[in-house]
Amino acid sequence: MKNPLWNSQKNTAPSRRGALRSMIAGTSIFPGIVSQLLAGENGSGPTSGIDPLAPRPAQFAPKAKRVIFLFMNGGVSHVDSWDPKPKLFSDAGKTVSVNEWQGRKGDYKMFLTPPLWKFHPRGRSGTEVSDLFPHTAQCVDDICVIRSLRSDHTNHYESTLGMHTGSFNFARPSIGSWISYGLGSENRNLPSFVVISPQTPYAGNQVWASDFLPGAHQGTLVVPGAEPIANIGRRAPTKRLQELELKAMNSMNRRHMEERSHDPILAARIKSFETAFGMQMEVPDIFDLSQESASTLDLYGLKQGSTQGFAWQCLVARRLAERGVRFIELIDGGSAGTGNWDAHGNMATHGPLAKNVDQPIAALLKDLKQRGMLEDTLVVWTTEFGRTPFKETAGAPGREHHHWVFSSWMAGGGAKGGSVYGESDELGIRVAKDEVHVHDFHATILHLLGMDHENLTYRHNGRDYRLTDVAGRVVHEVVS
């Protein structure tokens, strides 16, 4: 049976929505709140007493309460990291025929390219991981590696969009927005969905957009640096003075509101002040890493006072998770120039990129585990696609985009640690066993959070939409 809170909200008339959006383009908080209030005009939103971010019960007993989603932007090579292929070493330089090349059908002769990093069995489970990720490999007994993931597109934009929204061609709500919509927030002073990214990824802000879902579920962007969230600091000289100012302003606003009780713009403006004040109280504390011990900073490889790097992102993610943020995404790399995992020219560029993220990711897993949080925090590591086990030219040092099969992993939050699911063929070209499509991946994440992906829906333009579109199955084999 569907949870009525999951599919009860509908859009208002497009003409009115467009007019209102043109009137409220001034702040990052205000437009989202107006969207939510307008959604409530049908009698199910905040204007009728329902808080859009209030915690909601899962449909069934969840394994996880929150998600930390680690996205490696650009396409990490599966055959150099999580999917060992001995034959790719032994047959290096030999040719193989494929019937498609970067989205173009035909008969192509390709040259097999050996991995740059060797694989070794790790942990008690013996899961093979390459030397590219030596620190994360130490945590393999808590990790479920999926070696049979498949996407639908060979381009960065479409595959990044698909991994985040389930749609490879059209703008749709992000997975973080869907989870916020389904479960609400555990902390009303913080957003339910936070994205920490130093650069803009492929697919841009659609990666964290709520699209047709109410704007309250859109991700809040945090950019590593001295001011991770702009304009969050108090302008009044003292907290007491600010409280007095807000109290007086609120009193005047409420009197004004009583005379205009059906004005959603005014209601949204008042709500935006309340939301901003709550964030102002909690956000500075989250980013104050001076509270962390020297041993914790060393674990992450973070220098005292630093506000940059993936180590900072991972430590802040743990602090956000502790404070009840429902979905936290960490993005490594941007969409332009160097600094992402798109290794067309030379696979050796994976080396420094891995060094930047490997120790922090391992530290995050260890830190969550020692605090007793890993059991109900689902950590997901993924990328938009893998990289080809071959090249057009013999001896070429790079690899191209490869969506036919690639690897990802899950840890904690009910994922079966120390296990491997699915197989690619002996050269890592195609799925050989137990395919996991992106829709299946998403369905499994929702399942671990206690949600049925077929019942988490939102009616838009006369159709019930969902994260997994009209497909997807839960991969029960990866659930502990």
* pLDDT 10s digits, 256-266: 878 876 665 66
Characterize 391-404 residue by residue with b for buried, 16 or more Cβ atoms within 10 angstroms of its Cβ, and e for exposed.
beeeebebbbbbbb
pLDDT tier, 198 (very low <50, low <70, confident <90, very high otherwise) = very high
Domains identified in the chain, total number: 1
Mean local confidence (pLDDT), 351-373? 98
**Does 3 reside within a domain?**
no
Question: In this predicted structure, what is the pLDDT of residue 12?
Answer: 39
Pick the more confident residue, 257 or 228: 228
Pick the more confident residue, 370 or 274: 370
**Does 17 reside within a domain?**
no
Structure tokens at 424: 């690619």
275 pLDDT above the threshold of 80:
no
Question: In this predicted structure, what is the pLDDT of residue 13?
Answer: 40
At 25-75, the pLDDT tens digits run 344 444 444 445 444 443 333 333 457 788 999 999 999 999 999 999 999
**Does 331 reside within a domain?**
yes
Question: In this predicted structure, what is the pLDDT of residue 216?
Answer: 84
**Does 15 reside within a domain?**
no
**Does 255 reside within a domain?**
yes
Residue reference for tokens 């490594």:
332
**Does 32 reside within a domain?**
no
Residues 6 or more apart in contact with residue 405 via CB below 8 angstroms: 78, 147, 148, 149, 150, 386, 424, 425, 428, 429, 430, 431
Task: Return mean pLDDT, the chain.
Answer: 88
pLDDT tier, 267 (very low <50, low <70, confident <90, very high otherwise) = low
pLDDT tier, 338 (very low <50, low <70, confident <90, very high otherwise) = low
Question: In this predicted structure, what is the pLDDT of residue 21?
Answer: 41
Pick the more confident residue, 272 or 447: 447
- Report the CATH number that the domain containing residue 143 is assigned in CATH: 3.40.720.10
174 pLDDT above the threshold of 90:
yes
243 pLDDT above the threshold of 80:
no
Question: In this predicted structure, what is the pLDDT of residue 405?
Answer: 98
Question: In this predicted structure, what is the pLDDT of residue 232?
Answer: 75
At 143-165, the pLDDT tens digits run 999 999 999 999 999 999 999 99
d(CA 346, CA 348): 5
Structure tokens at 234: 């108090």
Mean local confidence (pLDDT), 101-117? 92
Burial-class residue 454 by CB neighbours within 10 Å (0-12, 13-18, 19+): middle
At 428-463, the pLDDT tens digits run 999 999 999 999 999 999 999 999 999 999 999 999
**Does 34 reside within a domain?**
no
At 398-425, the pLDDT tens digits run 999 999 999 999 999 999 999 999 999 9
Chain length of the chain? 480
185 pLDDT above the threshold of 50:
yes
Q: Domain of 370?
A: 53-478
CA-based end-to-end distance of the chain: 25
Pick the more confident residue, 282 or 370: 370
Mean local confidence (pLDDT), 125-136? 98
**Does 228 reside within a domain?**
yes
CB atoms within 10 A of CB 328: 29
Mean local confidence (pLDDT), 219-233? 87
> What is the β-pairing status of strands 431-433 and 423-424?
antiparallel
337 pLDDT above the threshold of 70:
no
